Chain A
Amino acid sequence: MASLTTRLGPLRLKNPVLTASGTFGYGQELEPLVDLSRLGGVVCKTVTRHPRAGNAPPRTCETAAGMLNAIGLQNVGIERFVDEKLPYLRRFDVPLIVNVAGESVEDFAFLTRALSAESGIAAIELNISCPNVAHGLDFATDPTLTEEVVAHARAATHLPIIAKLSPNVTDITLIARAAEAGGAHALSLVNTFVGMAVDVRTRRPRLSNTTGGLSGPAIKPLALRAVYRCARAVQIPIIGIGGIMNAQDALEFLIAGANAVQIGTATFVQPRAALDVISGIEDYLEANSIGDVTQLVGSLVTDSGK
């Protein structure tokens, strides 16, 4: 059997497949359909300092091979997360990565510190890239702010810090380097691409928020390029995200330089998508006599060496 064990800095995973924030609830809803303990890790919905109601509906709309969402970070807030959601998530033998978002550098540090006091959390993912709330994007579009927010979060915890970046920038490698300089142990690439859709009958935007984040197969080539470029720009491990629907897609990300992947929108369509990706990667390794998944990472073959 090929080894699927993966390391993201200090974080050890039994396989490189995690669920993406905002697409897996708090795990509870999927328990009847998915054996959570088989996952490499679970990243839960973004938690904020205060509860958030989220945006008015319609919050989603389907587009060509993808969807737009503007949920607006609806969540119960850190206090209730710790009291009500964490005890459930802790029961599973799977690394739990808590995704947090704040409106200020202090918010991020506060959330990171508060969560570090709790048991059963394997790492913190900083969502500095949500396109659907004010301030969300500001961090990940500015290298200086990115470095500052990561450094403050890092100083507030002993847990590994993962920075989740926005693709809605001119040069994502600048932001990736800034996050590395701030002390991030790993990067998650990417969050959704900002987009919109119009109902021509009513001439209204299809989302109440007018714009939303595009996810699904439509963004895969774009996300893949972002991972490929950042993998060459930084030393820290990268988690590839964007339109991964099956093992084939996940393998593309690993070969392009991702150490692990997250499965998002695919879970909506196939609740067991992440598990199918794990077994598909296993099959590929067997079929190609590759003993260890880490051998695949960044193994892209090019003539030019570029």
Chain B
Amino acid sequence: MQQTTALIRGRDEVARGHYRLKLLQADVAAAARAGQFAHVLPRRADVYDPMLRRAFSILAVEGDTFDILFRVEGRGTAELSRRRTGEELDIVAPLGRPFAAVPQRAVLVGGGVGVPPLAMLAAQTRREDGRHRAENIEQNTLRQTNSSHDLIAFVGARSKEELLCLEMFADLQVAARVATDDGSAGLHGRVTELLEAHLAAQAGEKHPTIYACGPLPMLRAVAATCARYNAPCQVSLEENMPCGIGVCNGCVVRAAQAGNDYELYKRICVDGPVMWTHELDWQHAATTRG
């Protein structure tokens, strides 16, 4: 974790109101793990409104650069969308607890701008696959064929134009199925229905591990589904994050069991943003997001 500046190397509007920034910062690119985020100052240093940093998941790393992908929501993201290639951003990164190591079989469930950390997780897992293959070839083992992770992605959005990262999943050979709220692509409905159908079809087999990120109502449904099928599940959470480094106690979510009062709330920025669903009290997991 460090505070530093990152040069904007590239900027694309990947969908209407959605921007992808490529940022040059070698140390962050080298250290970042899927599920971690960057805390970005969306304004010039001497203007105090909007005041706080904004959190964005790390979408990809490549050489000395890393990418973020964001949707314009309010003033901070609007400000950020006006920054151009060649400008510098003040960042603190990488922050937060990343996703746990992916077992042989995994399902990625992403909604809206919750998809980026899952695309990063897919890429990271495929890089591991590549390393294992290389090692196997070196050691002349013949178990090469089945060593890749079995990954599948369910991607949801309001409409077809806002489906994110589908090309990345295709490049990584991760089968992706989509759901849209308006039915303009894939299932006319919710991404959690895809998950439900998938787990139902596998009843009896050992369940894959589920990794999910998206709006809170979606995560709540994912957590309930996974609990029903007894499938282990990690989610990445959001909450207003004044500091992002664990000093303000602002970004909390209620823990499942607290032996003590002082452990009732966990800080999403340092104890998360990735948490196991069984660590959380879903009845009280009412964050700002719904």
Contact = CB atoms under 8 A, between A and B. Distances in A.
B246 interface: yes
Interface residues of B, number: 38
B239 interface: yes
A49 B254 CA distance: 22
B260 A51 contact: yes
B56 to A, nearest CB: 16
Given A52-B261, A57-B253, A80-B262, A23 B248 contact: yes
A93 interface: no
B231 interface: no
A4 B258 CA distance: 46
Contacts of A245: 48
Interface stretch (A27-35, A96-104, A138-146): A27-35
A74 B265 contact: yes
B92 A271 contact: yes
Contacts of B222: none
Residue from A57, A74, A270 whose CB has the most chain B CB atoms within 10 Å: A57
B49 A29 contact: no
A270 B92 CA distance: 9
Nearest to B264: A53
Interface string B66-85: 00000000000000000000
Contacts of A272: 3
Contact of B240 (A32, A60, A246): A60
Interface in B52-66: 52-53
A75 interface: yes
A192 interface: no
A216 B208 CA distance: 46
B245 A58 contact: no
The majority secondary structure among interface residues of chain A is: loop
Interface stretch (B156-164, B185-193, B282-290): B282-290
Contact of B245 (A30, A60, A61, A265): A30
Nearest to B244: A268
Contact of B249 (A33, A71, A80): A71
A217 interface: yes
B49 A51 contact: no
Given A216-B51, A269-B51, A57 B239 contact: yes
Contacts of B232: none
B29 to A, nearest CB: 18
21 contacts: A22-B248, A29-B246, A29-B270, A51-B261, A51-B262, A52-B262, A53-B261, A53-B264, A57-B251, A57-B253, A57-B286, A57-B288, A58-B240, A59-B240, A60-B248, A62-B240, A69-B250, A77-B262, A216-B48, A271-B92, A271-B245
Please list the 7 inter-chain residue pairs (A to B) with the smallest Cβ-Cβ separation, ordered nearest first: A25-B247, A51-B262, A53-B264, A60-B250, A268-B243, A58-B288, A29-B246
Interface of B: 1-3, 41, 46, 48-53, 92, 239-240, 242-254, 258, 260-262, 264-265, 270, 284, 286-288
